[in-house]
Amino acid sequence: MLVDTIVAISTPIGEGAIGIIRMSGPEAFHIIDQIFVSPTHTPLKNRVLTYGHIIEDHQVIDEVMVVKMHAPSTYTCEDVVEINCHGGIIPLREILSRIQRKGARMAERGEFTQRAFLNGRIDLTQAESVMDLISAKTKKGFDIALNQLEGHLSKRVKQARMDMMALMAFIEVGIDYPEEDIEDISYEEISDRLSQVEVFLSGLLENAENGRILREGLKTAIVGKPNVGKSSLMNALLKDARAIVTEIAGTTRDLIEEFMNIGGIPIKLVDTAGIRDTEDVVEKIGVERSKIAFNEADLIIFMLNAAEALSEEDLLIMDLVKDKHAIVIVNKTDLEQKIDYSKIEMLLHDKRIIRTSIERDTGISDVEKAISEMVLTQQVGVSENEIISNSRHIHLLEAALKNVKDAKKATQTRLPYDFIEVDIKDAILNLGKITGESVESDLLNSIFSNFCLGK
Ligand SMILES: Nc1nc2c(ncn2[C@@H]2O[C@H](COP(=O)(O)OP(=O)(O)OP(=O)(O)O)[C@@H](O)[C@H]2O)c(=O)[nH]1
Ligand SMILES: [Mg+2]
């Protein structure tokens, strides 16, 4: 395959002290030699940063530091050149177009990482973790991505795949040489081996939900009837007057979403319109959206007003909250108390109840603590290097697990070996898709197109 030379600006666009242009491919060294001159005319050495100028028609375009790195010990496994120039958009564009005129092509999104994958330096889970590292929202999410970049997940998935391949080989012997005197693998033995893989895969998946939360944020919806102080809580948690607060019931009409970080856990906080029966067209749509947010949330913060007796509306929402992960907040404790606490405790007996006065700034830190505890207590015994956060991986692991279960079912009903083999083959295929050992080029393109330019 003929490989071309690609180039891109690898630093974010904007004004910075330096900007970096990266070039990779067989022509990279040839191109830089044509456009770069050091004052002492020393040639570029492998992995040595060299000062000089990018020139065109004997004119200096920019003052730069250049490094060249010989294949294969580079990010892409190809010859790579990096140019550190001034950070403004003008020098970067000028140098970029100069390089393009010398024959390099603009890189596609993620193409440097794609080459690292195609050249066998990293597998697919590692390539994907590069993107996760760049976009990690918290330290924990970053740690998981880093772990994945080091290949921990791949190792485990590869192990499961090898086990399945070994099993397949055993079964094939039985199918291909039935007359030979090789001892057949028994249904029991097949079933045993499948069980081992089943346990292994379920174990990996068990932590997947935590991984998703650490990566995408715990979806937390603040719900309650109008005017209890939902938007006030949103603002207090964000420490910012993000949502409009008024004494008029029905102030919030649309969902308001913001990211925040509580104890290293990314939280996607959603303020909703107060849930009630209403004739107002706009508010009605808002209430519908609140219900959708309610259903999609990982965690519900259910708010009540301490200064009012429990109403029909409160009881209706309470009924929905019962079966969800939820924290109950009784707000406005600074006012005269009319709410019946024992009734709340009875109806929501397994829920944490926190009393707050957002007006007086009391109880807010208890809310934060309760949120992080909800996440962390679900994580007991989870070792972080096994957390799977990528939804593509989760999906494929689930598919492989189903294949293994189907194969097991087939052994239990004593179906012919061919039938069992079909499921095992599918499991091998699905596991291979995680690491990129069996993968279609469409999928590759779609994965790498999510990258930023220059990576
Ligand atoms: N006394 C007292 N008033 C509060 C407290 N928290 C909020 N309020 C007031 O209650 C009113 C309603 O607050 P919001 O935060 O807009 O209530 P909401 O639940 O978002 O209301 P909707 O958006 O209409 O559903 C405002 O006037 C707030 O200032 C509190 O702890 N004590
Ligand atoms: Mg509101």
Q: Could you write out the DSSP letters of every residue in 211-273?
A: HHHHHH-EEEEEE-STTSSHHHHHHHHHTS--S---SSTT---S-EEEEEEETTEEEEEEE-P
Q: Which of 51-60, 208-217, 289-298, 369-378 has the lowest mean pLDDT?
A: 208-217
Instruction: Find the mean pLDDT for residues 159-177.
Output: 83
Boundaries of every domain in the chain: 6-107, 127-207+388-448, 219-377
Please report which ligand is nearest the Cα atom of 227. 1
Calculate how far, in angstroms, residue 300's C-alpha sits from the geometric centre of ligand 2: 15
Q: Which of 6-10, 296-300, 400-404 has the lowest mean pLDDT?
A: 296-300
Regarding the beta carbon of 278 and ligand 1, being less than 6 Å apart is answered: no
Instruction: Find the mean pLDDT for residues 386-395.
Output: 74
Annotation: CATH topology of 127-207+388-448:
Four Helix Bundle (Hemerythrin (Met), subunit A) (1.20.120)
Q: Which of 131-140, 271-280, 388-397 has the lowest mean pLDDT?
A: 131-140
Give the pLDDT confidence of 422-433 residue by residue, as tens digits: 999 999 999 998
Closest ligand 1 atom, residue 331 Cα: 31
Regarding the beta carbon of 308 and ligand 1, being less than 6 Å apart is answered: no
Task: Express as a percent the part of the chain with pLDDT over 90.
Answer: 53
Calculate how far, in angstroms, residue 220's C-alpha sits from the geometric centre of ligand 2: 15
What per-residue confidence (pLDDT) applies to 387? 62
Between these two residues, 436 and 244, which has the higher pLDDT value?
Answer: 244
What per-residue confidence (pLDDT) applies to 65? 96
Instruction: Find the mean pLDDT for residues 73-102.
Output: 92
The answer on pLDDT for 371 being more than 90 is no
344 vs 230, 279, 347, 364, CA distance in Å?
18, 29, 5, 20
DSSP three-state, residue 205: helix
Q: Which of 15-19, 152-156, 266-270, 440-444 has the lowest mean pLDDT?
A: 440-444
Regarding the beta carbon of 290 and ligand 1, being less than 6 Å apart is answered: no
Q: Which is nearest to 303 in space by CA: 240, 210, 258, 236? A: 236
Regarding the beta carbon of 11 and ligand 1, being less than 6 Å apart is answered: no
Contact 252, 262 (CB under 8 A): no
Regarding the beta carbon of 199 and ligand 1, being less than 6 Å apart is answered: no
Residue nearest to atom 9 of ligand 1 (CA): 229
Regarding the beta carbon of 217 and ligand 1, being less than 6 Å apart is answered: no
The answer on pLDDT for 386 being more than 70 is no
The answer on pLDDT for 77 being more than 90 is yes
Calculate how far, in angstroms, residue 303's C-alpha sits from the geometric centre of ligand 1: 11
Between these two residues, 310 and 395, which has the higher pLDDT value?
Answer: 310
Instruction: Find the mean pLDDT for residues 346-350.
Output: 92
What per-residue confidence (pLDDT) applies to 382? 35
Regarding the beta carbon of 249 and ligand 1, being less than 6 Å apart is answered: yes
170 vs 98, 176, 193, 424, CA distance in Å?
59, 10, 11, 12
The top-level CATH class assigned to 6-107 is alpha beta
What per-residue confidence (pLDDT) applies to 177? 65
Closest ligand 1 atom, residue 357 Cα: 31
* DSSP assignment of 58-83: TEEEEEEEEEEE-TTSSSSSS-EEEE
Calculate how far, in angstroms, residue 372's C-alpha sits from the geometric centre of ligand 2: 23
The pTM (predicted TM-score) of the whole model is 0.57
Which two three-digit tokens encode residue 108? 């596609």
The answer on pLDDT for 383 being more than 50 is no
Q: Which of 83-92, 273-282, 329-338, 367-376 has the lowest mean pLDDT?
A: 367-376
The answer on pLDDT for 378 being more than 60 is no
Instruction: Find the mean pLDDT for residues 221-229.
Output: 96
Between these two residues, 264 and 88, which has the higher pLDDT value?
Answer: 88
Residue whose CB lies within 8 A of the most ligand 1 atoms, among 245, 271, 331, 366, for a mutation test: 245
Closest ligand 1 atom, residue 247 Cα: 27
Regarding the beta carbon of 421 and ligand 1, being less than 6 Å apart is answered: no
The answer on pLDDT for 380 being more than 50 is no
Residue nearest to atom 10 of ligand 1 (CA): 229
Give the pLDDT confidence of 23-59 residue by residue, as tens digits: 999 999 999 999 999 999 989 999 999 999 999 888 9
What per-residue confidence (pLDDT) applies to 385? 44
Regarding the beta carbon of 228 and ligand 1, being less than 6 Å apart is answered: yes
Instruction: Find the mean pLDDT for residues 163-169.
Output: 89
Beta strands in 253-377 (DSSP E): 256-262, 265-271, 299-305, 326-331, 352-355
Q: Which of 21-25, 172-176, 414-418 has the lowest mean pLDDT?
A: 172-176
What per-residue confidence (pLDDT) applies to 381? 31
Task: Express as a percent the part of the chain with pLDDT over 70.
Answer: 89
Please report which ligand is nearest the Cα atom of 256. 2
Contact 75, 23 (CB under 8 A): no
Regarding the beta carbon of 220 and ligand 1, being less than 6 Å apart is answered: no
Which two three-digit tokens encode residue 133? 């590292």
The answer on pLDDT for 138 being more than 80 is no
Between these two residues, 261 and 255, which has the higher pLDDT value?
Answer: 255
Calculate how far, in angstroms, residue 232's C-alpha sits from the geometric centre of ligand 2: 7
Bridge partner residues of 106 (DSSP):
7
Residue nearest to atom 32 of ligand 1 (CA): 332
Q: Which CATH number fits domain 219-377: 3.40.50.1820, 3.40.50.300, 3.40.50.620, 3.10.20.30?
A: 3.40.50.300
What per-residue confidence (pLDDT) applies to 130? 80
DSSP three-state, residue 116: helix
Name the pairing type of β-strands 218-223 and 299-305.
parallel
Regarding the beta carbon of 247 and ligand 1, being less than 6 Å apart is answered: yes
Regarding the beta carbon of 88 and ligand 1, being less than 6 Å apart is answered: no
Instruction: Find the mean pLDDT for residues 270-293.
Output: 91
What per-residue confidence (pLDDT) applies to 384? 45
pLDDT mean across residues, the chain: 87
Residue nearest to atom 27 of ligand 1 (CA): 247
Instruction: Find the mean pLDDT for residues 127-141.
Output: 72
The answer on pLDDT for 285 being more than 60 is yes
Compute the C-alpha angle 280/281/283, nearest 5°: 65
Regarding the beta carbon of 151 and ligand 1, being less than 6 Å apart is answered: no
